[in-house]
Amino acid sequence: MKISLLGGTGSFAEGLAIRWAKAGHEILIGSRKIEKAKEEVGKMLETAKAQGIEANIVGYENAEAAKNSEVVVVCLPPEYTKSTLESMSASFVNQLVISPVVPMSFGAVVSYNPPEAGSAAIEIQNTLPDSVNVVSAYHNIPAKGLASFEKPLDYDVIICGDNDEAKALTTKLTEEMPSLKAIDAGPLEISSMIEAITPLIINLNKKHKHEFSIKFI
């Protein structure tokens, strides 16, 4: 499939891009600047090659990346997600849009700081055309873990969304990355609860100087 990662030059996109390229997908890295996208793609291709992966990864501006893909992963900073998607809404028709976006505020403790819509995922669904199906996923996996290719990904991925086909595709894409397991939590309304787990994990990591992750048993 053609999978684009908007804001794909940031730390979160790298692991997803290389792992999905390994599974045979065509990856489109989006950026505000095509030169930056191409530069980041060069680094990803080097990393993939070192892992023995023949990767098909190409750099684009965000709008072109979304327009040319069937699946769009929003890897944008929470505070710029709505404005960025609004500015490129003409690029969206019928795609599966995956949101790992976690709105947080940083003080003595890290807090969940959702937008007025209630969660980042609902804000994204409200911003994009009705033909798009938003699924929440990957909030609770650290970028560093995704980009550590020597260890299996021993995480559970809680997903939610309002369209069963979109969730089935998200589950398939998730489980193509060994050894992630997707767990469907229900409608998109659940997303605030999933997003809020991430600041909890960060507070735990800070307090215990450990890298916690989640698994449901």
- Binding residues for ligand NAP, rule: CB under 6 A, are 7, 9-12, 31-33, 36, 75-78, 80, 84, 100-102, 139, 142-143, 198
Residues, the chain, total?
217
What's the min distance (Å) between Cβ of 116 and ligand NAP? Answer: 17
Tokens 């990803």 locate to 44
SS3 state at 96: strand
Residue among 2 and 36 whose Cβ is closer to ligand NAP: 36
Residue among 10 and 118 whose Cβ is closer to ligand NAP: 10
Residue among 165 and 204 whose Cβ is closer to ligand NAP: 204
What's the min distance (Å) between Cβ of 9 and ligand NAP? Answer: 4
Provide the CA 8 distance to its chain's centre, in angstroms. 9
Residue among 2 and 32 whose Cβ is closer to ligand NAP: 32
Among residues 127, 196, 130, 129, the alpha carbon closest in space to that of 160 is found at: 196
What's the min distance (Å) between Cβ of 174 and ligand NAP? Answer: 14
Q: How is residue 176 annotated by DSSP?
A: T
Residue nearest to ligand NAP (CB): 10
What's the min distance (Å) between Cβ of 140 and ligand NAP? Answer: 7
Q: How far is it, in rounded angstroms, from Cα 211 to Cα 202?
A: 8
What's the min distance (Å) between Cβ of 195 and ligand NAP? Answer: 8
Residue among 11 and 164 whose Cβ is closer to ligand NAP: 11
Angle between helices 78-87 and 120-127 (to 10 degrees): 10
Give 28's strand partners. 4, 58
Q: Let me know: does 43 contact 13? Beta carbons within 8 Å.
A: no
Angle between helices 34-50 and 11-22 (to 10 degrees): 50
Cα dist from 163 to 3, 136, 138, 166, 184, whole Å:
19, 11, 18, 5, 11
Residue among 24 and 123 whose Cβ is closer to ligand NAP: 123
Token pair of 213, please? Answer: 């992750």
What's the min distance (Å) between Cβ of 120 and ligand NAP? Answer: 7
